[in-house]
């Protein structure tokens, strides 16, 4: 076997040092170099390329979202005109608007539908106060669907996404009772003390109350404290500018106060002024259940109060009225005047 010359071996070692791997595909020196296999349809006899496989991404390199399919977990871009969904607790639905407890109101579309949140099917359940709803907005800000739920639900959009759709409030109208004038009313709490003088027929174990139109005339709305035999008192903290009607009672509709003539009393009119404190003194002359012209008793007025000089100013029972015409005593007979004395 013939050996290659030493110069050729040195040249091959130099090439291998400069270009690693360049001689790996070289044919053995001892045998003839095989000819490359030609593939049909490939110019120059080169093999045809197989399917292209993209290289793995380089760690730390930024990838365009459009190059990554949404199935991998990245959200796709929201298309223009997509519906926005926002949830909250309902306050009221009326007049073509829906109001949430946050104080925001939104306009309802003419074709708005109400569905069940869990099933997504139409429901006949009205959108009542206290329920929760998912409002679906169109791009122009109208609610086209309300999904009703008895429990809170998560919103698919933030409040900032629906804030431009909030209906602006109406023009502010100043309460005439709180309008600035001669007496500026701030609406701050004012301690108002009500003191009432009751008739002597009020028993010591009977309570006294104040009822108002603001409390739907509840005969036991405010209970007063007894401070002596005939006086009751209570202190209420009322906002300045408050206006209401009131009257006294002993706790029921049959024990409301009466006037001096034992007739029904019209409600008292009260307005809280801008003061540090306020005292209101009243007098009750009769109760509706006091005995009148019967029952062996009379209705004494508040002026007939027992004193050390008059321990019993209203005697019980009432002395009988002498018989006569109309219940009055008969007038004495009218006769001639007595004779004048004879002068001496």
Give the DSSP letter of residue 13.
H
Assess contact for 298 and 290: CB atoms under 8 A: no
The predicted structure's pLDDT at residue 178? 56
Cβ neighbourhood burial of 98 (10 Å; 0-12, 13-18, 19+): buried
pLDDT confidence of 213, banded at 50, 70, 90?
very high
Whether a cis peptide bond, with omega within 30° of 0, leads into 317 is yes
Could you read off the pLDDT of 156-167 as tens digits, one per residue?
788 888 888 888
Comparing CA positions, the residue from 82, 91, 101 lying closest to residue 144 is: 82
Could you read off the pLDDT of 327-342 as tens digits, one per residue?
566 666 777 777 777 7
How far apart, in whole angstroms, are the C-alpha atoms of residue 40 and residue 22? 27
Q: What is the pTM of this model?
A: 0.36
For residue 106, count other CB atoms closer than 10 A to its CB.
19
Could you read off the pLDDT of 223-250 as tens digits, one per residue?
999 999 999 999 999 999 899 999 999 9
Most confident of 131-140, 191-200, 287-296: 191-200
Across the range 20-47, mean pLDDT stands at 49
User: Is pLDDT above 60 for 36?
Assistant: no
The predicted structure's pLDDT at residue 296? 37
Assess contact for 135 and 87: CB atoms under 8 A: yes
Q: What's the chain's average pLDDT?
A: 74
User: Is pLDDT above 70 for 48?
Assistant: no
How far apart, in whole angstroms, are the C-alpha atoms of residue 257 and residue 254? 9
* Selected residue with higher pLDDT from 161 and 10: 161
User: Is pLDDT above 90 for 65?
Assistant: no
Could you read off the pLDDT of 66-83 as tens digits, one per residue?
333 333 333 333 344 568
The predicted structure's pLDDT at residue 261? 87
The predicted structure's pLDDT at residue 10? 67
Assess contact for 248 and 284: CB atoms under 8 A: yes
Across the range 46-54, mean pLDDT stands at 48
Q: For residue 209, list its beta bridge partners.
A: 223, 249
Across the range 8-19, mean pLDDT stands at 65
How far apart, in whole angstroms, are the C-alpha atoms of residue 43 and residue 214? 102
pLDDT confidence of 143, banded at 50, 70, 90?
very high
**What SS3 state is found at 159?**
helix
User: Is pLDDT above 70 for 274?
Assistant: yes
How far apart, in whole angstroms, are the C-alpha atoms of residue 161 and residue 138? 12
Most confident of 87-96, 99-108, 236-245: 236-245
pLDDT confidence of 43, banded at 50, 70, 90?
very low
C-alpha distances (whole Å) from 22 to each of 12, 16, 25, 190, 265 are 10, 7, 7, 102, 121
pLDDT confidence of 116, banded at 50, 70, 90?
very high
C-alpha distances (whole Å) from 77 to each of 66, 70, 137, 275 are 9, 9, 19, 63
Comparing CA positions, the residue from 252, 262, 251, 243 lying closest to residue 224 is: 251
What secondary structure does DSSP assign to 228-256, as a single string?
A: SSSEEEEEEEEETT-EEEEEEESSSGGGB
How far apart, in whole angstroms, are the C-alpha atoms of residue 177 and residue 273? 10
User: Is pLDDT above 70 for 193?
Assistant: yes
């Amino acid at each position: 076997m013939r050996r290659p010359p030493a110069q050729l071996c040195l040249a091959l070692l130099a090439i291998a040092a400069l270009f690693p791997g360049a001689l790996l595909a070289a044919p053995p020196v001892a045998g003839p170099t095989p000819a490359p296999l030609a593939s049909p349809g490939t110019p120059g006899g080169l093999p045809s390329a197989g399917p292209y496989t993209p290289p793995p991404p380089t760690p730390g390199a930024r990838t365009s979202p459009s190059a990554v399919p949404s199935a991998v977990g990245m959200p796709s871009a929201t298309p223009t005109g997509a519906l926005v969904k926002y949830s909250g607790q309902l306050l009221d639905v009326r007049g073509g608007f829906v109001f949430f407890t946050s104080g925001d109101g939104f306009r309802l579309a003419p074709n708005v539908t109400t569905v069940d949140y869990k099933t997504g099917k139409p429901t006949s359940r009205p959108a009542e106060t206290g329920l929760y709803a998912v409002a679906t907005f169109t791009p122009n800000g109208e609610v086209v669907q309300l999904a009703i739920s008895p429990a809170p639900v998560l919103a698919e959009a933030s409040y900032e996404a629906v804030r431009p759709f909030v209906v602006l409030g109406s023009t502010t109208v100043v309460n005439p009772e709180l309008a600035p004038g001669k007496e500026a009313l701030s609406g701050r709490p004012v301690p108002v003390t009500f003191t009432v003088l009751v008739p002597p027929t009020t028993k010591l174990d009977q309570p006294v109350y104040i009822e108002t139109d603001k409390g739907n005339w509840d005969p036991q709305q405010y209970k007063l404290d007894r401070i002596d035999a005939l006086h009751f008192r209570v202190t209420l903290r009322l906002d300045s500018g408050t206006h209401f009607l009131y009257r006294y009672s002993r706790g029921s509709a049959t024990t409301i106060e009466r006037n001096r003539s034992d007739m029904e009393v019209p409600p008292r009119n009260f307005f809280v002024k801008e003061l540090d404190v306020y005292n209101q003194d009243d007098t009750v002359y009769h109760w509706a259940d006091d005995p009148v012209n019967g029952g062996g008793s009379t209705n004494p007025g508040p002026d007939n109060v027992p004193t050390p000089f008059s321990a019993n100013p209203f005697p019980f029972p009432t002395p009988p009225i002498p018989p006569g015409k109309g219940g009055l005593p008969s007038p004495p007979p009218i006769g001639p005047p007595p004779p004048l004395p004879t002068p001496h």
